Structure 1
């Protein structure tokens, strides 16, 4: 997929490039982010700089993570090193925690992360970013609406799954507004949404073993049509279900985040 109507740059399918071009939508997103001078903020995938320009105007300085060398060259031509720090590479491998340093005696400053995330890698990027939750103040992203609906879904709904549980365990999330395909060049075939994620305090997370929680949630949704008795057979037996007061005939989609945390803590304590 290539498109020449993007200020001379050809949108590259392998990078999932769809460039935001509607000035009203851009203004609305920036107003939702509310960047303040001096804040430590990083933009993932700045592209042609539609959001980069107003962010720099309000912040003074912005970090960006970009993989496309042609776009990186454009960024260097448009802004000085005092205005922008460019981190060339794959956001899936980038150490976002390094941007806020190591805290010493006081808590490190909160990192703010924003961006129009490539739809083709949106789920793995969200899980990667969750690893840095303790260093993050908030995150505001544009994503495919379908993904956002999964992120904020409630138990018992079709959209509720592994992404819902693992992100809701770490973040308070809210869908802000939708963005139509016509706001982009080239226009995607799907509706987009803006979502905000605010990390929950560590003391509210509850799971004694986060890795175990992840394995249990992955197993519970690995085969959605099967009951917990089957999907969690490597973790739980009938006595365990009875001790927790859970019906082994339920499916994973019926359990709340708190239920999964209780299962993980029960298994960890044995």
Structure 2
């Protein structure tokens, strides 16, 4: 039985189960996040050996006992120590029907460790997927859009109705595939991501008002002059690959 406190909505549509596993093309070692009762895991077993699954709900362990093809790890993926396992986790891939409660946090964790995670295939709440893939000047464009697209190229593989899950959620879900970008101009430091997030926290304010927390008025004027910005520009108007230039300029003045 799915448990609400873990944000569990099990994928029961067998056609989509098969599609997801057939579409999954890991380049090396991989893990499944949130296997639940093992609907995807059983299909993955038929194609692959020696992978691992991360499950936070101890009651799901009984569905994975006696399995030899994979390792069951009773741990929240968000608590996994990438630094400790940095040598083992390289060119890593991920697959999972992510819990709605933690989908955004898991995506951020992936981006923070993009130097180790090369590819993923995730089922997410459609609203989260839309934010991840949004472009400038759209309502859904925000810090998550920049986080994700700074390091990954993406493709929406499909949208699933609530009836594909048990219990049925109140919203649609999206299957999204991500491949690590080659030669991305974006830094991968947490400081950079925190800077981006701070710029989007007050979306109704102009970027000038946001930067006042960091820079003096003359310094802001210098940046605006260099980039030939109008005085009313907001964070949601700035193209994704222009953010590294903004960040570098803020650090340098």
TM-score by length of 2: 0.91
Equivalent positions of 1:96-245 (< 5 A) are 96=82, 101=87, 109-201=90-182, 203-207=183-187, 210-236=189-215, 237-245=220-228
User: 2:238, 2:244 → 1: CA distance?
Assistant: 10
Measure how far apart 1:136 and its partner are. 1.7
Unaligned regions of 5+ residues in structure 2, if any? Answer: none
User: 1:155, 1:92 → 2: CA distance?
Assistant: 29
* Distance change in 2, residues 1:40/1:12 (3 Å): same
Counterpart selection for 1:74 from 55, 63, 76: 63
* Distance change in 2, residues 1:212/1:95 (3 Å): closer
* Distance change in 2, residues 1:96/1:122 (3 Å): same
Classify the secondary structure of the residue corresponding to 2:39: coil
Measure how far apart 1:60 and its partner are. 1.9
What is the number of equivalent residue pairs in this alignment? 249
Q: Which residue of 2 aligns with 1:22?
A: 13
Deviations 1:190-226 (A, max 9, x none): 100100111123x42344x834432331122111111
Unaligned regions of 5+ residues in structure 1, if any? Answer: 1-9, 103-107
User: 2:169, 2:83 → 1: CA distance?
Assistant: 31
TM-score by length of 1: 0.86
Classify the secondary structure of the residue corresponding to 1:11: coil
Mapped contact 1:141–1:194 kept (Cα < 8 A): yes
Equivalent positions of 1:48-59 (< 5 A) are 48-59=37-48
User: 2:82, 2:185 → 1: CA distance?
Assistant: 21
Deviations 1:109-132 (A, max 9, x none): 521101011111111111112122
Q: Which residue of 1 aligns with 2:237?
A: 254
* Distance change in 2, residues 1:116/1:98 (3 Å): farther
* Distance change in 2, residues 1:96/1:118 (3 Å): farther
